[in-house]
């Protein structure tokens, strides 16, 4: 099938290219789109060399599947036009996640929602995906009612520029020089700070609101109570999250472990004798989300505390998008349906 990647030169675009090859996705024609500044340059993938293209003005990407990760403004301006030309758009930006017309999908959690698409499917925020790989199976088993989440988010969540900034600042500090923030508002080397997204009147930033609203939509749990504190940390890759979760039915440690060990997309890492629990270094490059530090919440009988780490470029973005396309292909429903007027 014909595949297009919009934002092919970014961190997620590069991961998408690697995954399409790694997972033998049935590509008959691959077209790579980038900014007008990059158009005409070439990009080598394996033994193939591709010329980067600028987005066509008529909106026809000549593709059956479009993986879009060039930013929310691009998706807001063009996604539905791409779909009108017959493409299924799997969008990895925040543009359409909360739009009632657009399914918000994590295949291990709500794969069936993808079948209701009208041409555009949204990939959730990376922190939401990583949290829900652990919380969704527990929700199905015990009925999640409330969660508090603290995130420890890697700089690659801000793209290649975030990676470059951490590397450059670390080198500067080790050389005795003052770090110079560019991508971030504050120094990131040997530092951490509240997530670099706008803070609303309620005191929550955009990333924290995404976790709440997207979790409610994906789990179809509009009454779910969730409060998040999102923090940027000096880690190159893979987000981690500390979660305290409460349920309608009391949870035991043994029951939670049994559920998580059987959950798709999850790897339990919970070795108390060796103090070995999920870490971003071990989550990087993995498909699974690592879940561990499981214990009964000492402040709330019947509740659970846990810690998760997941590669936010891979499962938190590119892999989730490819899995959505794979699921629809297996269902014979990959081509986007014609939009109604």
C-alpha distance from residue 290 to each of 14, 95, 172, 315 (Å): 23, 28, 32, 11
Q: Is 331 annotated as a binding residue?
A: no
The 3-state DSSP class for residue 224 equals coil
Q: How far apart are CA 118 and CA 121, in angstroms?
A: 8
9 is in an annotated binding site: yes
Determine whether the annotation assigns residue 200 to a binding site: no
Residue of 113, 166, 119 lying closest to 136 (CA atoms) = 113
Residue with tokens 């961190």: 11
Q: Is 38 annotated as contributing to ligand binding?
A: yes
Residue 203: DSSP 8-state: S
- Is 156 within any annotated ligand binding site? yes
10 is in an annotated binding site: yes
Q: Is 12 annotated as a binding residue?
A: yes
Region label for 232, one of left (φ > 0), alpha (ψ between -120 and 50) or beta (otherwise): beta
Q: Is 162 annotated to bind ligand? A: no
Residue 86 assigned as binding residue: no
- Owner of token pair 């214990």: 295
Active-site residue numbers?
A: 126, 239
37 is in an annotated binding site: yes
Question: Do the Cβ atoms of 156 and 312 come closer than 8 Å?
Answer: yes
Q: Rounded distance, CA 54 to CA 181, Å?
A: 30
CB burial string 302-332: b at 16+ within 10 A, e below: ebbbbbbbbbbbbbbbbbbbbbbbbbbbeee
Binding residues for NADP(+): 9-12, 37-38, 156-157, 312
Binding residues: 9-12, 37-38, 97, 153, 156-157, 232, 312
Binding residues for phosphate: 97
């Amino acid at each position: 099938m014909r595949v297009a990647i919009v934002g092919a030169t970014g961190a997620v675009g590069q991961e998408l290219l690697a995954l399409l090859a790694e997972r033998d996705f049935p590509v008959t024609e691959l077209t790579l789109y980038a900014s007008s500044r990059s158009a005409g340059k070439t990009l080598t993938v394996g033994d193939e060399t591709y010329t980067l293209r600028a987005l066509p003005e008529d909106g026809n990407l000549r593709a059956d599947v479009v993986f879009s990760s060039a930013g929310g403004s691009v998706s807001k301006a063009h996604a539905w036009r791409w779909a009108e030309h017959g493409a299924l758009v799997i969008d990895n930006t925040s543009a359409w996640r909360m739009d009632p017309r657009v399914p918000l999908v994590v295949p291990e959690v709500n794969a069936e929602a993808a079948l209701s698409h009208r041409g555009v499917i949204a990939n959730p925020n990376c922190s939401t995906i990583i949290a829900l790989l652990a919380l969704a199976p527990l929700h199905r088993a015990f009925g999640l009612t409330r969660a508090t989440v603290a995130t420890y988010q890697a700089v690659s969540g801000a793209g290649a520029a975030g990676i470059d900034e951490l590397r450059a600042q670390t080198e500067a500090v080790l050389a005795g020089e003052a770090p110079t923030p560019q991508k971030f508002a504050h120094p990131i080397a040997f530092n951490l700070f509240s997530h670099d997204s706008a803070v609303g009147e309620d005191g929550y930033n955009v990333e924290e609101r995404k976790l709440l609203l997207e979790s409610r939509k994906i789990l179809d749990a509009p009454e779910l109570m969730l409060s998040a504190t999102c923090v940027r940390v000096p880690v190159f890759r893979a987000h981690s999250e500390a979660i305290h979760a409460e349920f309608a039915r009391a949870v035991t440690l043994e029951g939670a472990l049994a559920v998580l060990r059987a959950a798709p997309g999850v790897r339990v890492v919970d070795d108390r004798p060796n103090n070995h629990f999920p870490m971003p270094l071990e989550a990087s490059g993995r498909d699974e989300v690592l879940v561990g530090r499981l214990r009964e919440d000492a402040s709330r009988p019947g509740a659970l505390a846990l810690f998760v780490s997941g590669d936010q470029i891979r499962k938190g973005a590119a892999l989730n998008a490819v899995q959505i396309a794979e699921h629809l292909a297996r269902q014979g429903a990959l081509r986007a349906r014609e939009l109604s007027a």
